[in-house]
């Protein structure tokens, strides 16, 4: 697990460029073997995320959870969702404890781990709020975030949870138009706390913009050989970063900043390349900017450590991105329809993974 000096330097340069490196996976194996602690110590990892697909792979592909499942079942707990949340809360809590020194060393700017609300609630605002608050209270750590999807129902939940002092990681975010709603929900939540005389300096939030999935669809809509292939997702992200820079400036934000508020940082998710023809560091090297997070699969993290380069990255000027997206639209890419479809497909995919996960837990209980 120990890195050679050049590999360490690449990751350090990435962090010095303003990018927080979070791991796009979490499992009991990573935690129990010391691998996660080594990633923090040697690989510049300062956070981690989880989702139903990640936990489904972790629990179905390992026997490390079986003993705890038997203990819980012996105590009379047989509901698969209750069992899953017990297992997930334990992993996320342990990861948060390992990341706590990062959180403290960065003055609460970094060192977070996220747990997602169950995807069956993605279209239910009140149920999302209730479950998110319950998970937040049960974890009882300042360096955790609760993931809430950027669906129609998720937007008011983001505002309500922020106002309640819950750290929110907004997930399944694809379109810039939806991102604008997410930023507005966060700002309104912070403003509500300020108006109520409550502190805002401990609130942290990120907006997880999914990247490679956009190219996976857009490339199929572009003519063969088009020079726009592999560029639509990056242009979309650059437009999002420009919106972030715009909204977290000006008089409205300065009032909140003076009250101690922190900006809701953009997070680049789904940054492993899906097309083997593209460089394996494509969505890291081209998305470098101050105050962003990049959640990398472990393979992408290792690839960047091995041969990644820290170049100029993103600009907060969207003119080049707008020109690229205009050309893509003229070539047949309907970006609004594409991103709306990806949002719904993401919800369905997480629901499928969640059902598989619950089924796996039921099978493990039956075998025990």
Which CATH number covers residue 202? 3.20.20.70
Checking if the pLDDT of 101 tops 70, the result is: yes
Q: What is the pLDDT of residues 191-244, one digit of tens each?
A: 999 999 999 999 999 999 999 999 999 999 999 999 999 999 999 999 999 999
| Integer-rounded Cα radius of gyration of the chain | 20
Q: Is 289 helix (H, G, I), strand (E, B) or coil?
A: coil
pLDDT at 315 over 90: no
- pLDDT of res. 240: 97
Instruction: Judge whether 52 and 85 are in contact, CB under 8 Å.
Output: no
φ/ψ region of 267 (left if φ > 0, alpha if ψ in -120 to 50, else beta) reads beta
Angle at 222 between CA 216 and CA 225, to 5 degrees: 100
Residues sharing a CB contact under 8 Å with residue 324, sequence separation 6 or more, in sequence order? 228, 231, 232, 235
Mean pLDDT of 129-148: 98
With CA atoms as reference, report the closest residue to 115 among 227, 177, 26.
26
Q: Supply 185's token pair.
A: 């929900």
Mean pLDDT for 302-327 is: 93
How confident is the model at residue 167, as a pLDDT? 98
Choose, from 57, 147, 274, 364, the residue flagged as catalytic.
Answer: 147
Mean pLDDT of 293-311: 95
Q: At what angle are helices 335-367 and 80-105 packed, to 10 degrees?
A: 120
∠ Cα 306 26 231 (to 5°): 50
Query: Is residue 366 over pLDDT 90?
Result: no
| pLDDT-derived band at 164, boundaries 50, 70, 90 | very high
Domain count along the chain:
1
Whether the pLDDT of residue 5 is over 60: the answer is no
| Predicted pLDDT at 1 | 52
What is residue 320's DSSP assignment?
H
Full residue range of the structural domain in which residue 11 is found = 5-367
> pLDDT per residue over 28-55, tens digit each?
999 999 999 999 999 999 999 998 888 8
Model confidence at 2: pLDDT above 70: no
CB 116 within 8 A of CB 128: no
Lowest mean pLDDT among 111-120, 315-324, 325-334: 315-324
Structure confidence at residue 130 (pLDDT): 98
End-to-end CA distance of the chain: 35
The pLDDT tens digits of the residues spanning 240-285 come to: 999 999 999 989 999 999 999 999 999 999 999 999 999 999 999 9
- Would you state the pLDDT for residue 19? 98
Active site (annotated) includes residue 274: no
Please report which helix (H) or strand (E) contains residue 8, including its range.
Answer: helix 5-16
Q: Under 8 Å CB-to-CB from 342, ≥6 apart: which residues?
A: 174, 210, 213, 214, 217
Using the predicted structure, report yes or no on whether residue 151 has a pLDDT greater than 70.
yes
Q: Is the pLDDT of residue 102 over 60?
A: yes
For residue 180, how far is the Cα from the chain centroid?
A: 17
CA-to-CA separations, 110 to 202, 259, 367, in angstroms, rounded = 12, 20, 41
User: What are the DSSP E strand ranges found in the chain?
Assistant: 19-23, 45-48, 112-116, 144-149, 168-173, 205-210, 265-269, 292-296
Q: What is the mean pLDDT of the chain?
A: 94
């Amino acid at each position: 697990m120990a890195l050679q000096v050049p590999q360490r330097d690449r990751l350090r340069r990435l962090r010095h460029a303003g990018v927080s490196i979070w791991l796009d996976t979490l499992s009991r194996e990573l935690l129990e073997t010391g691998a996660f602690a080594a990633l923090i110590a040697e690989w510049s990892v300062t956070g981690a995320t989880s989702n139903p697909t990640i936990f489904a792979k972790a629990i179905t592909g390992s026997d490390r959870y079986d003993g705890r499942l038997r203990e819980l079942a012996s105590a009379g707990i047989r509901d698969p969702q209750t069992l899953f949340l017990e297992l997930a809360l334990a992993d996320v809590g342990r990861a948060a404890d390992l990341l706590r020194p990062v959180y403290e060393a960065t003055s609460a700017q970094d060192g977070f781990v996220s747990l997602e609300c169950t995807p069956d609630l993605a279209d239910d605002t009140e149920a999302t709020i209730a479950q998110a608050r319950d998970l937040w209270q049960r974890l009882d750590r300042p360096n955790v975030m609760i993931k809430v999807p950027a669906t129609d129902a998720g937007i008011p939940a983001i505002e309500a949870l922020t106002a309640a002092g819950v750290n929110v990681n907004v997930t399944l975010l694809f379109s810039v138009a939806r991102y604008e709603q997410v930023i507005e929900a966060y700002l309104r939540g912070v403003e509500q706390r300020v108006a109520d005389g409550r502190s805002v300096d401990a609130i942290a939030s990120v907006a997880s913009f999914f990247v490679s999935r956009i190219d996976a669809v857009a490339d199929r809509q572009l003519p063969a050989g088009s020079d726009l292939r592999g560029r639509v997702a990056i242009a979309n992200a650059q437009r999002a970063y420009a919106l972030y820079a715009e909204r977290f400036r000006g008089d409205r934000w300065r009032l909140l900043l003076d009250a101690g508020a922190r900006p809701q940082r953009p997070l680049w998710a789904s940054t492993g390349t899906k097309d083997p023809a593209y460089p394996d560091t494509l969505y890291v090297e081209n998305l470098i900017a101050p105050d962003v997070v990049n959640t990398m699969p472990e393979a992408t993290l290792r690839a960047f450590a091995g041969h990644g380069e820290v170049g100029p990255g993103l600009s907060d000027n969207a003119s080049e991105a707008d020109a690229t997206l205009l050309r893509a639209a003229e070539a047949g890419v309907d970006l609004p329809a594409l991103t709306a479809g990806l949002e719904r497909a993401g919800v369905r995919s997480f629901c499928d993974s969640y059902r598989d996960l619950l089924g796996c837990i039921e099978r493990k209980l039956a075998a025990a």
